[in-house]
Structure 1
Amino acid sequence: MIDVTIENFESEVIADSANIPVLVDFWAPWCGPCKALGPILEKLETAYGGAFKLVKINSDDEQQIAQAFGIRSIPTVILLKDGQPVDGFMGALPEGKVREFLDKHVVAKVAEEDAPAEEAPASDDPADVLERLQHDVAADPSNDDTRFAYVKALLNADRIDDAKRAFEPAAPKAGVVRRVDALKRWLDAIDLAAGGTARVEDLDARIAANKRDFDARFARAQLLMAKRQWVPAMDELLEILMRDKAWNDDQARKTYIAILEIIEAPRPKVADGQIPPDDPTVATYRRRLSSVVLS
């Protein structure tokens, strides 16, 4: 990978593209998707064994080059042969899609015996999972399911500030998309706990004095949410629902549903025609909610 400026553009890009395809990555230091795509391009340059040359151009510093190529958004990647652009793409594509793009134009120079028999399974290490999810969100920012998984993983890793930044683009959807609403309620609970205005001891005393102090019960449920104590939090919300199903514009029920959304694991792939089993905790607490709401 080579950093190209106006001074070396002619030699590193135009001249070299007569001998080898040159892949030009237009990026900028402030661009989040660029940071996701860059390592993928560098990895593939190595994996393809010199079948193409990768260069990077900082579009902020080299505006003359960016304008010459008509760059309107970044990351933008352009492939040149014989001094001419032949193809390109915009956005942080996942590795598989970048490979598809490259395979249309270049042939990897990797000895057959060196090629792996099959792709290694994805790592379950939390750091690797977070990195994959970050790439996926950068590649498809509008995918609410992927963003939900990414923000949830960040919160489970106690990376609260990162989770808040990752959540921001989806925040306007909180009123209409259930998973986004679930994340907002979890973040609100974390903010309440961090603010220190509600203490479990004080809330317990209020509830002992008045079992219908729903504000205290709801705040207690939020503190439990902040600690990821999901079952006790749902139990507290059930105490509200059993006494007042519609309390405070249905906040207890909505928060209860949000917790179920957070704790329900993705269903595994199964053979055609089979129905995967429900998570036992989720199934139990869905029944309890139905029992209370419909009674």
Structure 2
Amino acid sequence: MTRPDPRKTAALSAALSGAVDLGALRARADAARQAAAAPASAAAPVDNGSSVPWIVDVTEASFQTVVEQSVQVPVVVLLGASYSPESQALAATLTRFATGSGGAWILARVDLEQAPRIGQAFGVQSVPTTVAVAAGQPIDAFAGAIADTELSAWIARLLDALRERLPGIRAGEARATGVAEEEVVEDPRIVAAEEAFEAGDYAAAQGFYEQVLASEPGNELAREGLAQARFAERAEAVDPAVIAKADAAPEDLDAQLAAADAEIAGQRVDEAFARLISAVRRVFGEDRDRVRQHLVGLFELFPADDPRVAAARRALASALY
């Protein structure tokens, strides 16, 4: 997804993906709720601060509850402050956009003067900072204010990238347009694959996805699921110590491939891509094709517009030709 300054924003997004500790924030929030709640009471509800249910003003205690909703729709977290005119202007624009979204995405407004630990969790350097969260993890971000047209386009690209992965987006869009959402008929093979994956039976998941692709080669969901299942099976068996082994023996091709898997599993994406591109430059023939295929398989774990994948594809093409 492109933003006003792609290099700066890509760096911010990459930093967030490795730095955010939402689990620690959740632990603090849970402790605060337990201290304040009566023995038989439920967790404190989210303070919307709005009559629109998908626009919420969050505190440190309620933030994790909002983040958990990102398994259904993306959550756009606005980290601002009342003293910042840019924060107030961006909040007004985002609120206007969110109001008409039908709940295809959630706007979570955070006042860092009242909830500084949320800003610390995201490593915020300036206000306003806007972060997109999906499936509990930050996936994109930008700092400062941007034009309304750019902001609208950013949100549209976010929804386009996640529509097939987060089930609540289409429902929200249907509400926004007043058009009834089409009934989704789930492919039992996809359902079986997902259940096998959740159970940790990655081999079975691969088999179900391969059945789908045999009859529907263009099925994007099955293609992505197969890539994830293959990687999960390899990553489960890899020893993180293989990274040091590969660094000490660059000629050991098996170690290089395993080390790249370990680095991806540890969110060291750029290092993994760079390792395999370096290997491509050192080997030839069948060995080079083996490394290339492994690297392309890792590309499939990420959205096609991920800037790290785009940069690595260019570097791979340069190494090959």
- Please identify the structure whose Cα radius of gyration is greater: 1
TM-score normalised according to structure 2 size: 0.33
Which of the pair has the greater relative contact order for Cα pairs under 8 Å at 6+ separation? 2
TM-score normalised according to structure 1 size: 0.36
